[in-house]
Amino acid sequence: MKMTRIVLAVVLLLGAGTAFAADHAFFSAGLGYLRPADSGYTDIYGSQVFYPEFEAGVRLIRGLYVVGGFGTFTKNGQTPDLHLAAKSTQSFLTAGLAYLAPISGKVGVKFEAGAADVRYKEESMGTSVSGSKLGFEAGLGLMLMGKVGFAGLNVGYLTASGTVGDVKIKLGGARVSLSLGVRI
C-alpha cells in the first residue's frame, strides 16, 4: 500500500512540475454524489452520499492532462440486527489522464481514467477496521468554459475491492458531481 501512495505522489509531483513548463493547468472544487457499490454498506449507511471533491490537472499536450483528485466523506448508521451505532469514513486519492475537447464555442467534454487509492475506516460495536485498497476511476464531463473559469457536470465510477477478514467489500460506486474551477 505504501508503494501505491508513492506512485500516486510521484505522478502528481511530475504533473505539478510540468505546470510551470506548460503554463496550462486547472483546479476545481465541487459537490459530489456517490451511490455506494456495496449492498452491505447501503444496508447500514444508506444508498447515497454527498461529499466535497477537488481536482487539479496539468496540460501535457493539446487537450491531454495529468490529473489528480481527492474526495472524502463520513457516514453514520446502525447495524441491521442489533441497531448499534456505526460510523464509516472513506477517502480517495486519484491520479490519471484526462482529455478535454471542445464541442462548440464555450462547451467542451472531458474524458478521464486513472488509478484510485481508496482509504476506509469503519467503527462499530467498540471495534475499528481500517485500510486502503487500490482501484480505478473513469468518467466523463460536460464543461462550460469561460475566459478563466469553468463549470462542469461530471459522471463516473470509482471502484476498489478486497477482503477484510472473510468479508468481501466494494469501495466507491457511481458518482455525479458539479464543479467550479479556474484555469491558470
Q: What is the mean pLDDT of residues 5-25?
A: 51
Query: Sorting pLDDT into bands at 50, 70 and 90, what band is 126?
Result: confident
- Cα–Cα distances in angstroms (integers) from residue 164 to residues 23, 66, 108, in the given order: 44, 32, 41
Query: Rounded to whole angstroms, how far apart are CA atoms 31 and 20?
Result: 28
Three-state secondary structure call for residue 22 = helix
Query: Rounded to whole angstroms, how far apart are CA atoms 120 and 10?
Result: 22
Query: Rounded to whole angstroms, how far apart are CA atoms 143 and 178?
Result: 10
Q: Is residue 7 predicted with pLDDT exceeding 80?
A: no
Query: Rounded to whole angstroms, how far apart are CA atoms 27 and 33?
Result: 19
Query: Sorting pLDDT into bands at 50, 70 and 90, what band is 16?
Result: very low
Query: Rounded to whole angstroms, how far apart are CA atoms 131 and 64?
Result: 32
Per-residue pLDDT tens digits for 68-93:
999 999 999 998 888 889 999 999 99
CATH number of 2-183: 2.40.160.20
**For residue 136, what is its C-alpha cell?**
480505478
- Full DSSP string of 85-104: EEEEEEEEEEEEEEEEEEEE
